[in-house]
């Protein structure tokens, strides 16, 4: 990856995208389109189909037919594995194209996007390709003249709704295990970041995935997302995004066929730093990166910094230095550390959180403003607010932007109480040289993921899932397969 190659791809026009239904690229049923606005400069990049409920129904019908005739589910595991490996090969071959396309669409800095998007997506598809022929049934411990068998079968049609922050990575977390288990899938990308995921879906067809096994429909969540949620022909619905949308999807499931719904929702992840941390300078740099990379638009971002009172002022000063050394700017520049906020609406919401934090007694010690307005893009200075009480809005509500709230604590129990004082429980971290304390924090802080003396970087071998209002079910690892299979008992008289 070099700057000249990135700039060459940046300059290329982007053809309009239609839906991908039954192996064909098609327009919306009414011909409507949506402009794709780049967060880098506010310019229109291209258009995507503005899907209708009829479009989503057509995609689901295609997926149901593909599942029913066994064109994918009925293939031998070795054949499915071969196709998925070919898909991963193509993602890797088109990695820079996919990464630049995604950055132009959602604003993630390219240095992060290459690894986190096509790099991660290809690795995820390969992981589940290798896993699919290692999933066995079971023989129950019955006695006498009875044989009890437990079969694992694909669920049928999976609906996947993918967010805008990491569409390839999170998309692969859902598509990889669902397809590996023999299901058919309909995926809906986010309105503000559809392009790279649509292109990755096209590559799946090129790899040999049969038509109808993977369909992709663009459009507004209130239209095509609702149609997916209310469908009587979707067996499992998987979603990453906001709590409000997650609640609506659960309601849709209740109003339709009681489809299983798995949700990875928001977080207010606590990053807890004790005075005995083995390297406070390193902890400060990682704390800054843990909230400000991708402009804070990361579900597991360490958005709450809890610092032992004895080192609070010195540590906050170190985090400020690390933050102010990070370069905000053009996300397609390899020297950029923090890219663009995904949309104008998201940026406005972020700035509103800063105003609220000030009104509630917080002190903005760096950042807090929109910057680089002359570019026409959506850029915000990384922001640190001290004096944030556990009850403050900034400590309770997910921002999904480059804003870090800092709170002091006195004791271990104090740290746990503050860490657990939100409705969320997605991720967290503790920095300490005390092994016993580290294990207590892992045990007592209610999260799906806990880091010790690091933040982020957990790979696909371990699950990601939340507790509380951070959702249910797990992405990544072999545990993700459980969402996409049904267990069937065979009770046989011998």
Catalytic residues: 264
Question: Helix, strand, or coil here: 343?
Answer: coil
DSSP for 174-208, please give it. Answer: HHHHHHHTT-EEEEE-BTTB-HHHHHHHHHHHHTT
Judged by DSSP in three states, 31 sits in coil
**Exposed / middle / buried, residue 324 (Cβ in 10 Å: 0-12, 13-18, 19+):** middle
What does the block give as tokens for 308? 């032992």
CA distance 320 to 314: 10
Dihedral-angle region of residue 294 (phi above 0 means left; psi in -120 to 50 means alpha; beta otherwise): left
Rounded CA gap, 46 and 35, in Å? 6
Helix (H) or strand (E) holding 50: none
How many Å apart are CA 466 and CA 426, to the nearest integer? 4
- Start-to-end Cα distance in the chain: 63
Hey, which residues does 409 pair with through a beta bridge?
Answer: 308
Question: CA 34, CA 46: separation in Å to the nearest integer?
Answer: 9
Q: Residues near 115 by Cβ (< 8 Å), separated by ≥ 6?
A: none
CA atoms within 13 A on the CB side of 465: 18
The Cα 397–Cα 388 span in angstroms is 12
Rounded CA gap, 388 and 313, in Å? 14
Cβ neighbours around 97 below 10 Å, total: 15
Provide, for the chain, the percentages of residues in helix, strand and coil under a 3-state DSSP scheme, each rounded to the nearest 5: 45, 20, 35
List all residues 6 or more positions away from 436 whose beta carbon is below 8 Å from its beta carbon. Answer: none
On the CB side of 174, CA atoms within 13 Å amount to 31
Tell the burial category of 193 from Cβ atoms under 10 Å away from its Cβ (0-12, 13-18, 19+). buried
CA nearest to 200, candidates 357, 87, 44, 315: 87
């Amino acid at each position: 990856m070099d700057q000249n190659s990135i700039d060459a791809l940046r300059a290329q026009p982007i053809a309009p995208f239609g839906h991908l239904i039954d192996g064909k690229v098609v327009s919306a049923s009414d011909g409507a389109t949506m402009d794709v606005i780049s967060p880098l400069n506010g310019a229109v990049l291209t258009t995507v189909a503005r899907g209708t409920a009829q479009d989503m129904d057509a995609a689901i019908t295609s997926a149901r037919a593909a599942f029913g005739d066994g064109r994918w589910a009925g293939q031998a595991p070795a054949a499915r594995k071969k196709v998925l490996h070919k898909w991963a090969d193509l993602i890797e071959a088109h990695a820079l194209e996919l990464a630049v396309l995604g950055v132009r669409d959602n604003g993630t800095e390219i240095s992060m996007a290459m690894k986190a998007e096509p790099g991660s997506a290809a690795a995820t598809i390969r992981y589940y390709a290798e896993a699919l022929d290692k999933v066995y049934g079971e023989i129950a411990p019955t006695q006498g003249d009875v044989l009890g068998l437990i079969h694992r079968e694909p669920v049928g049609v999976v609906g996947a709704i993918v967010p805008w922050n990491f569409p390839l990575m999170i998309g692969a977390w859902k598509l990889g295990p669902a397809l590996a288990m023999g299901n058919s899938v309909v995926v809906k990308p986010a309105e503000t970041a559809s392009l790279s995921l649509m292109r990755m879906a096209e590559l799946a067809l090129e790899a040999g995935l049969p038509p109808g096994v993977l369909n992709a429909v663009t459009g507004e969540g209130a239209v095509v997302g609702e149609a997916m949620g209310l469908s009587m022909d979707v067996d499992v619905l998987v979603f990453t995004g906001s709590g409000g949308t997650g609640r609506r999807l659960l309601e849709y499931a209740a109003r339709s066929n009681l489809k299983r719904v798995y949700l990875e929702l928001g977080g207010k992840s606590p990053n807890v730093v004790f005075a005995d941390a083995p390297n406070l300078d390193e902890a400060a740099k990682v704390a800054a990166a843990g909230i400000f990379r991708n402009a804070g638009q990361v579900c597991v971002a360490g958005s709450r910094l809890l610092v032992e009172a004895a080192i609070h002022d010195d540590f906050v000063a170190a985090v400020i230095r690390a933050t102010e050394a990070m370069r905000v700017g053009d996300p397609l520049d390899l020297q950029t550390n923090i890219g663009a906020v995904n949309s104008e609406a998201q940026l406005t919401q972020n700035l509103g959180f800063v105003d609220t934090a000030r009104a509630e007694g917080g002190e903005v010690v760096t950042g807090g403003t929109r910057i680089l307005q002359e570019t026409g893009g959506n850029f915000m200075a990384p922001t640190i607010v001290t004096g944030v009480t556990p009850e403050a809005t900034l400590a309770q509500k997910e921002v999904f932007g480059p804003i870090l709230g800092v709170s002091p604590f006195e004791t271990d129990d104090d740290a746990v109480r503050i860490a657990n004082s939100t409705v969320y429980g997605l991720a967290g971290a503790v920095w300490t040289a005390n092994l016993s304390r580290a294990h207590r924090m892992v045990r007592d802080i209610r999260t799906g993921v806990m880091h010790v003396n690091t933040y982020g970087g957990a790979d696909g071998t371990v699950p990601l899932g939340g507790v509380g209002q951070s959702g249910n079910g797990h992405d990544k690892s072999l545990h993700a397969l459980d969402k996409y299979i049904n267990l069937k008992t065979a009770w046989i008289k011998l």
